[in-house]
Amino acid sequence: MFFTVMWRGVCQAVSWFFGLFGYKRDGKYAKIIWGIFATSAAIFMAMLAFVAVVATIDDMKPRHSECDDPDCYENTFVSRDIYYHDHVDGRGYVFNSLTGERTVKHIAWIAKPLGDDSLVCYSDGKKRGYFNKFTGKVVIPAKYDHAWVFSDGLASVEEDGFIKFIDVTGRVVFEPGLMYHAWMDGFVFHGGYCVIYNENKDLYGLIDKTGKTVLPAEYKNILVCNDSLICVEKGNEMGVLNKNLKPVLPMMECIITACDETIGVVMPNNTIRKYDLSGKLIDGYYIRSTRMLEYETDAVVYIQPQRADQEPPCVPADEESEWSNGVNDEDATYYHPKATARLRAYTAGNDYEGLMTADGHIMTLPSYYNIEAIGPDLYLCQIDYSSSIVLNGKGQVVK
C-alpha cells in the first residue's frame, strides 16, 4: 500500500507539473519518457523513505552517552553494548546501552584485558576485581589490594603480600613465590611468557603459563616485543630470542632500538643495522637524516647607516660608497656572506654525526657530537663536550 500510494502521488504530481507546459501523454515517445521519469522518481522517493525509517529506528536505540548524571564526563567503549561511564569523584559505573542498566557501580577506573580475554579489571577505589566485558556483570568481586589485566587466560593478583596467578573463575593456578613490590608494573603474560625478578629484584627472567622458570633471572632487562620475539639484555650486550627461546640475534655489544616489523640495532660505532625477524641482515648502514653545511667566506659586506632621505644600501667592501666617508665609518655594520661546503653531515645512531658527499658516499663514521664547516672543504668535528678536531674533505685529521 505504501508504494502504491507513493506511485500514484508521484504520477499525479508529475502530470500536474508537465501539464503547466501543455505536455500531453498521448504520443508514443511521450509515454515512454513519462514512464521512465515517473519510475525514477518513485524509486528515489522510496530510497528517501527507507533512509528516514532507518534513521528513526537508529535514533530510538539507547545511546551509551545518554546519562542523566552531569558529573559523568567520559564514556569508554568496552564491547558492543557495554560502556564505562567515568565520574569526576570516582563514582563511575558500567552501563549496558541495550538495557539501560548500570551493571557495576562506584568504579574509580577500569583496565581492559589483552588479546581475546574477556575479563576487565576494575577498582572501587580500595579493592580490585573483574567484570565480563560482554555482559558487564561482575565475575570476580573487588577483593584484591592489587590486581592486573588478564592476558593468555591468566591474571596476576596480590594476596597477603605475595603474587599469585588466577584464572577466569578466580581460582589460583600457581604461585611463583614472589613478594609484591610497588615499583613493579605488574606481571602480565605476553606470548605465553611473563617477566619475573630474582630475590634481589635487580635481574629478570621468564616463567611460562604453568609457573615454570624457562629463562633464569640473570638479565638486566627483558622486553617481550611481540608474541614472537623477546629482547634480552645482559651487561653491555643485547640479543633477541624467538618464542621458543632460541637465539634470533646472538648476544653482542649493541643497543636494540626496534623489534616489531624489523629489528633495529645501533652498534658501538653508532652505525645502524636492520635485520628481518628471522635474524637475517637487511642492511648494515642506515642513517636518520642529513643536513647541508655552510661556512663564512672571507668576503665582507658592509651595511652603511640609514640616512633620513633614502634607504640604506648593502655595500661590498671593495667598492666606494657615496653614503659615507669610507668603510671605516664607526656607525657601519658588516657581515661575512656564507657559502655551502662540499660535504654534508648525516645523523646515525645515538644522534652522532658523520661526513658524506652530496651523492651519498660515506667519508667518516658517525663519531662526532656535532659538525660545522669552517671552509669550502674543511670541517670542525666535536668529539666530546670539550674537544674538537679539524677534518679535510677526505676525512683526514688536519694537524
Q: Does 351 reside within a domain?
A: yes
Is 274 found in the same domain as 149? no
Q: Does 227 reside within a domain?
A: yes
Is 346 found in the same domain as 399? yes
Instruction: Name residues of the chain where pLDDT drops below 70.
Output: 7, 14-35, 37-38, 41-42, 53-71, 306-331
Of 196, 212, 228, which residue constitutes the final position of a domain?
212
Is 390 found in the same domain as 256? no
For the domain that residue 165 is a member of, what is the CATH number? 2.40.128
Range of the domain at 316: 300-335
Q: Does 16 reside within a domain?
A: no
Q: Does 31 reside within a domain?
A: no
Question: Taking a C-beta distance cutoff of 8 angstroms, is the pair 171, 131 a contact?
Answer: no
Is 197 found in the same domain as 98? yes
pLDDT of residue 179: 87
Of 188, 212, 236, which residue constitutes the final position of a domain?
212
pLDDT of residue 329: 55
Output Rg (C-alpha) for the chain, integer angstroms: 37
Question: Taking a C-beta distance cutoff of 8 angstroms, is the pair 144, 159 a contact?
Answer: yes
pLDDT of residue 65: 45
Is 207 found in the same domain as 318? no
Is 390 found in the same domain as 324? no
Q: Does 205 reside within a domain?
A: yes
pLDDT of residue 318: 53
pLDDT tens digits for 13-37?
A: 766 666 655 555 555 556 666 667 6
276 Cβ neighbours under 8 A, 6+ residues apart: 262, 263, 282
Is 132 found in the same domain as 204? yes
Q: Does 2 reside within a domain?
A: no
Is 306 found in the same domain as 174? no
Question: Taking a C-beta distance cutoff of 8 angstroms, is the pair 334, 302 a contact?
Answer: yes
Q: Does 24 reside within a domain?
A: no
Is 240 found in the same domain as 189? no
d(CA 119, CA 112): 8
pLDDT of residue 45: 73
Is 201 found in the same domain as 110? yes
Question: Taking a C-beta distance cutoff of 8 angstroms, is the pair 37, 45 a contact?
Answer: no
Q: Does 201 reside within a domain?
A: yes
Is 174 found in the same domain as 162? yes
pLDDT of residue 120: 97
Of 212, 233, 249, which residue constitutes the final position of a domain?
212
**Cα 358–364–365 angle (5° rounding)?**
120
Question: Taking a C-beta distance cutoff of 8 angstroms, is the pair 252, 234 a contact?
Answer: no
Is 68 found in the same domain as 204? yes
pLDDT tens digits for 149-174?
A: 999 999 999 998 999 999 999 999 99
Number of domains, the chain: 4
